[in-house]
Structure 1
Amino acid sequence: MGRVGKGMKRIVFAALAVGALLLGGCSANDSAKPTSAEAPGAAPLRENAGGDAQTDQSKAMPPIDGVTATSGPVEGRALIYRGDITVRVEDVEIASGKVESIATKLGGHISSQKRVSGSRDAAASITMRVPSKSFDAAMTEIAGLGKEQSRGSNTEDVTEAIVDLDTRIAAQKASVDSVRKMFERAVALSDVVLLEKELSQRQAELASLEAKKRRLDDLVSLSTITISLAGPNTEIPVEKKRSPGFLGGLEAGWDAFVSSIQVILVVIGFMLPFLVAIAIPIVLYAWLARRKRRLAPAPPPNPGVPPLEG
């Protein structure tokens, strides 16, 4: 028993010694790490996390996939605004005049208009051009002329098309200038004729590109609004909405079938006068030929063949 007790005491003392050594090692490792007080550069870095530290890191990091960060404003897009609106009004003539006043007030103009006068079927179709920034204001004022029946609008981004045209115009101008310089230095008659033809062709291409650019600039600067004004009793056509899925396909097929029948009837109606004009002489000729055969005398009977004498 005495030996066993001494052995147990030795094991306990050894375990305590190992635990003390491990605890001392951990304390030494913790003391080796610098604290905020021992690391003077840590606190300023933490305080300037949103400033110089990030600036230095951004300078040190290379751009990813060639993309660099920019702090400038985003370049504006070139947008074309188009809209259409249908309004039922009490007096189409008065409302048309108000539409012209709205266009003038907003810095635009009326590009085209068509009116149908009448007490029951009075209507007007007007195309208005107003600055793009006044598009919403114009639509709101037009809707206030009466009872709005329908409205639609769409926006088209032509930024890439304009950039492409600008690039092509610049390249074409340089090409025209180059050919013009060669034309001015040409001496031989054959060279003059050839360069003159080439210069004319390139100038025509340049003029075409510039015309397209002016057209796009006009559409971007001035939005287009198509206005339909209807009188109190004018019937407004309603766009038919198709059902989705199988029913929609069935409706579309039926409409196509009806349209085909209508086209066939139209063709028959168109051809009928010609068919009648052709059929009358044919029928008359057949009737006369039949009558002639009926009135012709019957041929005499063929005489019998006499018997041969033996």
Structure 2
Amino acid sequence: MIVSIFALSACGGSGGSNDSSADSGSVESLADTSAGKAAPEVAAEDADAATPKQAVTKASIISTGSVALSAKDVGKTRTQVQHVSDKYAGQVTEQQTSDSDEDGAEEGLSHARMVLRIPSKSFADAMADLEDTATLVDSSTTSTDVTTEVVDTEVRVKNARTSIERIRTLLARAEAIGDVIAIESELARREADLNSLLAQQAALEDQTSLSTITVDIDRAGPGGSSDDDPGFLAGLSAGWDALGDSARVLAVALGAVIPWVPVVLLVGLAVWVLVRRRRTTSGVAPAEPAKPA
């Protein structure tokens, strides 16, 4: 009897999740029947167990955010981002930095990228603090409601565990070697399904309990303003930068002209001497002839 039921169960196993539920009903009905229960009563109990009770469930939200910042000191801003993560008991799971061409020191960083995992209850506060660490370039958030998926996974895990316990009870009562082999095969399949459901449940728990925030920090370019140089100071800095650029252009021009100065002076001096000699020669009057006594 047990072997024939498992044969029918195996024939319908390729039909998907509905067939899997039918297999579970066949095996569990067999276990309950062997315990002396009537088939109608077993079917009624299985229907009640499969129907989730109506209850108020907490919303499960997956929140993700991204913040783009601009700062003159990337290393300092990166430290401030780390402080925000520590403030909300978060952690930095990924970090990438790029050094400038001048040097590899902390103050020479040109770009930094950090991935934070922050408790979901502090997601909004952490985003606000991160936006204030430097000049905000861009900020975005995304929220996905997975409450239905979380509840469905919990129900499936519960039903899978109940089904496995019943199959184990049936395995303990089996006597024929064929029955034992068939029941053990079914038990292994359902335990694999349960492990898959548990992995999905753990992934959902991780995504809903911790929010992911990606922070990109770029170094401000010449003339760019930051929180350390607001208003007048930013304009003053831009003016000094423009003056420096003009001075560099003037220095280049002088450098190109200076080698020609000695040549121009020599030529000019020679021309001046010639002109002066000609003027001196032309200015001397011719001698008048002597008058007779």
Scaled by the length of structure 2, the TM-score of the pair is 0.51
Matched, 1:136 2:124: yes
**Match of residue 175 from structure 2:** 187
Q: 1:88 to 1:177 in 2, by over 3 A?
A: same
Q: 2:63 aligns with which of 81, 90, 96?
A: 81
**Contact 2:75/2:109 (8 A) holds in 1:** no
Q: Counterparts of 1:179-258 in structure 2 under 5 Å?
A: 179-233=167-221
SS in 1 for 2:136: strand
**Contact 2:69/2:137 (8 A) holds in 1:** yes
SS in 2 for 1:214: helix
**Match of residue 50 from structure 1:** none
**Contact 1:122/1:231 (8 A) holds in 2:** yes
Partner Cα distance (1:197, 1:97) in 2: 56
List gaps (5 residues or longer) in structure 1.
1-72, 235-310
Partner Cα distance (1:74, 1:192) in 2: 42
Matched, 1:113 2:101: no
Measured after TM superposition, the shift of residue 74 of structure 1 is 6.4
SS in 1 for 2:184: helix
SS in 2 for 1:77: coil
**Contact 1:121/1:233 (8 A) holds in 2:** no
Q: Counterparts of 1:49-88 in structure 2 under 5 Å?
A: 75-88=57-70
2:183 maps to a residue whose letter is L
Partner Cα distance (1:200, 1:150) in 2: 51
Measured after TM superposition, the shift of residue 106 of structure 1 is 0.3
**Contact 1:78/1:158 (8 A) holds in 2:** yes
Partner Cα distance (1:107, 1:231) in 2: 27
2:139 maps to a residue whose letter is R
Q: 1:96 aligns with which of 59, 78, 81?
A: 78
List gaps (5 residues or longer) in structure 2.
1-54, 102-107, 223-293
Partner Cα distance (2:191, 2:56) in 1: 35
2:126 maps to a residue whose letter is A
**Contact 1:90/1:146 (8 A) holds in 2:** no
**Match of residue 54 from structure 1:** none
| C-alpha distance after superposition, 1:227-254 (max 9, x if no partner) | 11111249xxxxxxxxxxxxxxxxxxxx
Matched, 1:166 2:163: no
Q: CA RMSD in A?
A: 2.1
| Count of matched residue positions in the alignment of Structure 1 and Structure 2 | 162
1:113 maps to a residue whose letter is Q
**Match of residue 53 from structure 1:** none
Measured after TM superposition, the shift of residue 175 of structure 1 is 1.2
Measured after TM superposition, the shift of residue 115 of structure 1 is 1.5
Aligned-residue sequence identity (percent) comes to 30
Measured after TM superposition, the shift of residue 221 of structure 1 is 1.2
Partner Cα distance (1:92, 1:197) in 2: 59
Look at both structures and tell me which one has the larger radius of gyration over its CA atoms. Answer: 1
Partner Cα distance (1:136, 1:157) in 2: 16
Partner Cα distance (1:233, 1:142) in 2: 21
| C-alpha distance after superposition, 1:62-91 (max 9, x if no partner) | xxxxxxxxxxx9653111111111011222
Partner Cα distance (1:144, 1:197) in 2: 59
**Match of residue 31 from structure 1:** none
| C-alpha distance after superposition, 1:85-125 (max 9, x if no partner) | 10112222232222222112101111212222225872122
Partner Cα distance (1:122, 1:173) in 2: 54
Partner Cα distance (2:72, 2:171) in 1: 67
Partner Cα distance (1:164, 1:75) in 2: 12
Measured after TM superposition, the shift of residue 202 of structure 1 is 0.8
Q: 1:137 to 1:181 in 2, by over 3 A?
A: same
Partner Cα distance (1:131, 1:154) in 2: 15
Q: 1:155 aligns with which of 143, 157, 162?
A: 143
